[in-house]
Amino acid sequence: MAASAKPPTASLSWNKLLPSSPFATALVSFPRRRNRSAKTVFVVAVSSGAKPTVLVAEKLGEAGISLLKEFANVDCSYNLTQEELCTKISLCDALIVRSGTKVTRDVFEASSGRLKVVGRAGVGIDNVDLAAATEHGCLVVNAPTANTIAAAEHGIALLAAMARNISQASESVKAGSVVKAFCPSAKVKFVSDLVYSFARKWQRSKYVGVSLVGKTLAVMGFGKVGSEVARRAKGLGMHVIAHDPYAPADRARAIGVELVSFDEALATADFISLHMPLTASTSKVLNDETFAKMKKGVRIVNVARGGVIDEEALVKALDAGIVAQAALDVFTVEPPPTDSKLVSDERVTVTPHLGASTMEAQEGVAIEIAEAVVGALRGELAATAVNAPMVPAEVLAELKPFVELAEKLGRLAVQLIAGGSGVKSVKVTYASARAPDDLDTRLLRAMITKGLIEPISSVFVNLVNADFTAKQRGLRISEERILLDGSPESPLEFIQVSGDSKFFVQIANVESKFASAISESGEVKVEGKVKDGVPHLTKVGSFEVDVSLEGSLILCRQVDQPGMIGKVGSVLGEENVNVSFMSVGRIAPRKQAVMAIGVDEPPSKDALKRIGEIPAVEEFVYLKL
């Protein structure tokens, strides 16, 4: 029985999904089906409180700075030492860096929880300690697309420059040579009186290059940059092969590139161009052993990261004649040390990490990262999140009431457990007519985790750190799908509007402080649905109830007999507690029943005591949602 219903709320602070934001409240209007095409679902209201502070630690394009300034106080402080960065960071809500700043664990620790977003104005995030960011609930976003072409063009520029000795020849012509010194008069006393004759060097035979046409180029890492390099190299008449364990074969085929194994790429390439990220598995992937597998005279281009090459091994491979030339934009340590053998080797062409440095790319990257950082600070889920799920706005809008339901079911479940020490194993079952692939449960799982952990700890759980926090606390969450009959119009519409979808949380092997929450199978079980956009509790243990999950809740088991609703209701009325919703579920007439009562205000201890003293009441519990 549903006694009353409040109008559905249409707003939710998405900041609770992301690192908490003290200054902005992001309200989400969730569209009905007919509004699905709306591009954005976010209505953002920034509170009148202090503006957030964004520290820009490396040069960023003006367009990006202007965008940031519309929303935040912007502190552009370049060339900070690690110590200075750690000092400043405790006053900053966001940090924007390029490849030159190391965002280490120390930085997150020094921020004391204030740092909510790190924006990497570029692709590679190897300079950000992602594990530390995640553990601190700090979102990391990057700008993955705006510098792709710039990096690919730089790769091609290095390839051609290396093959034709451009930088060496240019240096030689410019440097020229002193051919002789003579004394213009017999009275010369000082060296400065000598006149030097300067001649241009014109070493045409020394700098004969090699042709690219018809040669085999192995692109290692067939992602955004790698595939653009491949496309351009094909235009130069090269035979292009690629190695990338994760790249789809059809994408390679579409460009006319053959995907090959790592060893085959090494063994057949005349040129090797590196385009994979620096990770634990790509670190020093070119080393003594792998250089030994290469064709003699191979030429290597690296616009990825210095760390993917063992630089000492490259020096040896050059000396052994395995590698004829190399062109490097990136180094293990940047800038490389003054005694770097690689830099001083004439066969090696070098640039100071210029891959992304075109006017166009830097403007694009600045805008891309500024938008991502501002969006994240506003509480929106970032499309370029590196350590959190990327959920499209439309999906978010549809999932919104379920996200709320998920957190509340988690909160209810953990509060129903005796002892307050939480749970170790939770099973979440999602019932939906959507095919499993059409239902992204990461958000829901994060919110259940939040609901399960926050009421019993001081840990702040958000979308970034939910899985980490669960793991750290030894909480295992398993997920199961029940596929309902029906044919959803689209993967997500059905969940939001049909009211047929439901999910329940089961917690095994625990004692409940409300024994009725234990189902026939011995598990604490709560189940909920979304009705008209509002989360409802529909089952507690084996009892069917129907109460909107707003405010707080009293669950009460009693003997099913006339007058019980009135008795409990009048206790609450006398205590000035407003009842928002009430529902009774029973096993059979005149047997046991569970009453779920939604209350706007927390009842006093006295009110709860009086409810407990009603003779037919067998047990009851007050739960904060």
Ligand X SMILES: O=C(O)C(=O)COP(=O)(O)O
Catalytic positions are 305, 334, 353
From the list ligand X, ligand NAI, none, partner contacted by residue 221 (C-beta under 5 to 8 A by kind): ligand NAI
* d(C-alpha 564, C-alpha 560), whole Å: 8
From the list ligand NAI, ligand X, none, partner contacted by residue 304 (C-beta under 5 to 8 A by kind): ligand NAI
* d(C-alpha 601, C-alpha 489), whole Å: 40
Regarding 411 and contact with ligand NAI (CB under 6 A), the answer is no
CB of 163 to ligand NAI, least distance (A): 19
Would you say 351 or 542 has its CB closer to ligand X? Answer: 351
Regarding 244 and contact with ligand NAI (CB under 6 A), the answer is yes
Beta partners for residue 325, in sequence order: 299
Residue 467 makes CB contacts below 8 A (sequence gap 6+) with 445, 446, 449
Regarding 229 and contact with ligand X (CB under 6 A), the answer is no
Regarding 165 and contact with ligand X (CB under 6 A), the answer is no
From the list ligand X, ligand NAI, none, partner contacted by residue 121 (C-beta under 5 to 8 A by kind): ligand X
DSSP string, 194-226: -EEEEE----TTTT-----TT-EEEEES-SHHH
Stretch that binds ligand X, among 35-43, 122-130, 388-396, 433-441 (CB under 6 A): 122-130
CB distance 604 to 575 below 8 Å: yes
CB of 171 to ligand NAI, least distance (A): 22
**Tokens standing for 28?**
């989400």
CB of 334 to ligand X, least distance (A): 9
3-class DSSP assignment, residue 53: strand
Regarding 404 and contact with ligand NAI (CB under 6 A), the answer is no
From the list ligand NAI, ligand X, none, partner contacted by residue 282 (C-beta under 5 to 8 A by kind): ligand NAI
Please identify which residue in 19, 64, 336, 355 interacts with ligand X, judged by CB under 6 A. 355
CB distance 326 to 300 below 8 Å: yes
Regarding 64 and contact with ligand X (CB under 6 A), the answer is no
Please identify which residue in 123, 163, 328, 372 interacts with ligand X, judged by CB under 6 A. 123
CB distance 55 to 92 below 8 Å: yes
Would you say 117 or 396 has its CB closer to ligand X? Answer: 117
Would you say 304 or 426 has its CB closer to ligand NAI? Answer: 304
Please identify which residue in 305, 378, 400, 586 interacts with ligand NAI, judged by CB under 6 A. 305
Which residue type does 435 have?
A
Site map 257..286 versus ligand NAI, x via CB under 6 A: ------------------xxxx--xx----
Residue 392 makes CB contacts below 8 A (sequence gap 6+) with 383
Give residues 311-330 in contact with ligand NAI (rule: CB under 6 A): 329-330
Burial (CB < 10 A; 0-12, 13-18, 19+), residue 216, is: middle
From the list ligand X, ligand NAI, none, partner contacted by residue 276 (C-beta under 5 to 8 A by kind): ligand NAI
DSSP state of 568: H
* d(C-alpha 455, C-alpha 252), whole Å: 50
* d(C-alpha 110, C-alpha 284), whole Å: 31
Helix (H) or strand (E) holding 317: helix 311-319
* d(C-alpha 142, C-alpha 121), whole Å: 6
Q: What are residue 318's phi and psi, to 5 degrees?
A: -65, -45
* d(C-alpha 62, C-alpha 315), whole Å: 40
Helix (H) or strand (E) holding 494: helix 493-497
Would you say 94 or 123 has its CB closer to ligand X? Answer: 123
Stretch that binds ligand NAI, among 83-91, 209-217, 242-250, 555-563 (CB under 6 A): 242-250
* d(C-alpha 105, C-alpha 132), whole Å: 5
Would you say 47 or 145 has its CB closer to ligand X? Answer: 145
Stretch that binds ligand X, among 40-48, 285-293, 354-362, 577-585 (CB under 6 A): 354-362
From the list ligand X, ligand NAI, none, partner contacted by residue 277 (C-beta under 5 to 8 A by kind): ligand NAI
Site map 497..536 versus ligand X, x via CB under 6 A: ----------------------------------------
Would you say 221 or 410 has its CB closer to ligand NAI? Answer: 221
Regarding 121 and contact with ligand X (CB under 6 A), the answer is yes
The residue number with the shortest CB distance to ligand X is: 122
Give residues 82-111 in contact with ligand X (rule: CB under 6 A): 98-100
Burial (CB < 10 A; 0-12, 13-18, 19+), residue 605, is: exposed
How big is the chain by its Cα radius of gyration, in Å? Answer: 32
Stretch that binds ligand NAI, among 57-65, 130-138, 237-245, 384-392 (CB under 6 A): 237-245
DSSP string, 455-475: GGSS----TTTHHHHHHHTT-
Number of residues that bind ligand X (CB under 6 A): 12
3-state SS of the chain: helix, strand, coil percent to 5? Answer: 35, 25, 40
Instruction: Write out the residues near ligand X by the rule CB under 6 A.
Output: 98-100, 121-124, 147, 353, 355-357
Instruction: Write out the residues near ligand NAI by the rule CB under 6 A.
Output: 122-124, 144, 147-148, 151, 220-226, 243-247, 275-278, 281-282, 303-305, 329-330, 353, 355-356
